Amino acid sequence: MPSDLFFKSFVYGTQMLLFLLSALLLHAFSLIYSDWLFSPCLLESEIQSFCQLHMYFLSN
């Protein structure tokens, strides 16, 4: 049982790291493609993508 718990926590931690990395990359690309200007539409789509990724990782 302890090894099963370790495996699940390892998988969950790895998923969270990938999730944060993808969110940072998404944010970086959105800043690059918006020419460093604040765009509400871009920010809204970024938040929606972030939430979709989060829900995907939580469902697996």
Tell me whether residue 31 is exposed, middle or buried, using C-beta atoms within 10 angstroms of its C-beta: 0 to 12, 13 to 18, 19 or more.
middle
Q: Strand locations in the chain, DSSP E?
A: none
Is pLDDT of 1 > 60?
no
What does the pLDDT read at residue 33?
A: 66
Joined together, the tokens standing for residue 13 give 């931690």
What does the pLDDT read at residue 55?
A: 77
Tell me how many degrees the CA angle 22-51-21 measures, rounded to the nearest 5: 15
Q: For residue range 6-53, what is the model confidence (pLDDT) as tens digits?
A: 888 888 888 888 888 888 887 777 766 665 555 566 667 777 777 787
pTM of the model: 0.47
What does the pLDDT read at residue 57?
A: 73
